[in-house]
Amino acid sequence: MNIQDAYDEWSGIYDSNENLTRDLDQKMTRESLAGQHFELILELGCGTGKNTVFLAGVGTNVHALDFSTGMIERARTKVKTGNVRFSVADLTQRWPCDNAAYDLITCNLVLEHIQNLSHIFSEAARVLQPKGKFFINELHPFKQYLGTKARFERGGETIEVDVFIHHISDFIAAADANGLKLVRLKEYWHAADEDKPPRLVSFLFERLKGH
């Protein structure tokens, strides 16, 4: 199933399905960004808003993008503050964002569905302020090598969503080519992952001045 149709269909049950990767991402995003404050946050692939509510608390304003109208409709029901703006947008095209506008971009469990990382990092560099941060949480490529991919259950049928494998070096190379330096790289395991490969990989990049 193509990615947009899959997420539109998944939106109604995304929050209620058992999903250890979703839960770990939510936990580690909060731990990674807690205690900080940002003026303008861009959330790439907000989904049903599982992180949007938290971002609204650490940002003066949040601009949340997703290409699934079903997901955004669910997110709107969760966000009760007036400092979040939602936009339907295809991240593989030019983003509906001003240049050098944001001091934080977040991207959670999105890039496995996007083939061209270079475009994502180019757009991130365009819309980030100098010294602005780009925070990424993704399914670890080690899990992908073993065949793990985004999927959900529908009426006893397993629906798999189209994905692309990006190696850790691919993220770092795309960032470097677009003037973003790696500040932090971490790997995370769920409590159920003992003696297994890490479930998530997390990056924090910073836009260099002069780019």
Instruction: Express each pLDDT in 199-211 by its tens digit.
Output: 999 999 999 986 6
How many domains in the chain? 1
Residue ranges making up the domain that contains 146: 3-207
d(CA 96, CA 74): 21
Instruction: Give the residues of the chain that fall short of pLDDT 70.
Output: 1-16, 18, 149-159, 210-211
Quote the pLDDT of residue 14.
54
* DSSP run (H or E) holding 24: helix 20-33
For position 41, which CATH number holds? 3.40.50.150
d(CA 135, CA 128): 12
Quote the pLDDT of residue 153.
63
- The reported pTM is 0.89
